[in-house]
Amino acid sequence: DTGVSQNPRHKITKRGQNVTFRCDPISEHNRLYWYRQTLGQGPEFLTYFQNEAQLEKSRLLSDRFSAERPKGSFSTLEIQRTEQGDSAMYLCASSMGRGGSPLHFGNGTRLTVT
């Protein structure tokens, strides 16, 4: 399968714990995006990378959130000191980065904070 891959699919954690998610984009794609989606809503932009550079971060991305993309390949999203409000589906997408290129999404990581 050459699509966008996200791991784990599901994560249940207790409030206050740290969690890390991984995204492997389509290999030739140089842009990588993170979105968050809560029930009944569309995805909300969190951040994106052009190769290894993080070029934009949403105000939704508090200082408890950090994303990296070392070497411009896979990316990780870490949430520190999780809160119940962090419970959501975290979606990763990648694209060629040229104007008008479609985004391709992974199946997401569903986070539940108890």
Partner 1 sequence: KQEVTQIPAALSVPEGENLVLNCSFTDSAIYNLQWFRQDPGKGLTSLLLIQSSQREQTSGRLNASLDKSSGRSTLYIAASQPGDSATYLCAVIREYGNKLVFGAGTILRVKS
Between CA 48 and CA 114 the distance in angstroms is 28
The answer to whether 81 and 18 have CB atoms below 8 angstroms apart is yes
Query: Which residues contribute to the site for partner 1 (CB under 8 A)?
Result: 4, 6, 31, 33, 40-45, 48, 55-56, 91, 93, 99-100, 102-108, 110
Nearer to partner 1, 79 or 93 (CB): 93
Shortest spacing between CB 81 and partner 1, in angstroms: 26
Spatial CA neighbour of 29 closest among 111, 94, 105, 100? 94
When the beta carbons of 4 and 77 are compared against partner 1, the nearer one is 4
Q: How many CB atoms lie within 10 A of CB 16?
A: 10
Q: Report the residue number, 92 or 113, with the smaller CB distance to partner 1.
A: 92
